[in-house]
Amino acid sequence: MTSPPAIHVEPLFATPVILDRPDAVPIDRGATMRQVEAALRQQGRSSAAIAPGPAVQPIIDHAVGLANRATAQTNGAGPIHWHAAVTGHAADGHHGLPIAPEYEAFWKALFVLGDGQGAEASGRIVLADPRLPAPMMEAANVRLRLRLDNPGAIYAPEVSLPAAAGDMVLMPGWLGGRWHPAPGHDRTLLLSITLLAPLSR
């Protein structure tokens, strides 16, 4: 009689997420919010493309710096020349802001600006991992039904990160989720920065 195959469940791999407050960077959040507000009014939407400029460029540069430190390269490789696409968002207090996966992007960053009216905004970013834990085994043509006594100890499908005005979150492009403003905050202005790496240099 042969013994049944050994089965265990593991997460696929860890997900890098960086929560950073760029206090040392000369970021003018007021000027950036005015630029975002103007773009939203001009395009008549709650999200609008933002052109790089003196107010936005330090935020892009900081996201690129975080991405460079978090990206492994082969020895001797030159710097990655990231292409950055910037979008401004106005998230209301009832629905928040969905963070859609950007499958063509290597990294994406979310920067919390404020409420656009002089008050500090705060809330939380809930990240949803689309991957499932993988049954690790080698047994062809075998159907399994696993029951875990404590599934939370092995797999957590969501992670909640508190964030406030001036905070930046860097995450892989394929990760999605939602920004939830804190109670009492009716509106939050945010920047999302999508970083694409060229396939060849």
**Domain residue ranges of the chain, discontinuous segments joined by +:** 16-70+87-131+155-196
Q: Is pLDDT at 66 greater than 50 in this prediction?
A: yes
The amino acid at 95: H
pLDDT at 136: 45
- Contact in structure between 133 and 12 (CB atoms under 8 Å): yes
State pTM to two decimals.
0.77
CATH superfamily of 16-70+87-131+155-196: q2cbj1_9rhob like domain (2.60.120.620)
β-strand partners of 168:
20, 111
- Residue 50 token pair: 């933002």
What confidence tens digit (pLDDT) does each residue in 180-193 have? 988 877 788 999 99
Q: What is the DSSP letter of 197?
A: -
- Residue 188 token pair: 């939050």
Q: Can you state the percent helix, strand and coil of the chain, rounding each to 5? A: 15, 35, 50
- Residue 49 token pair: 């493309």
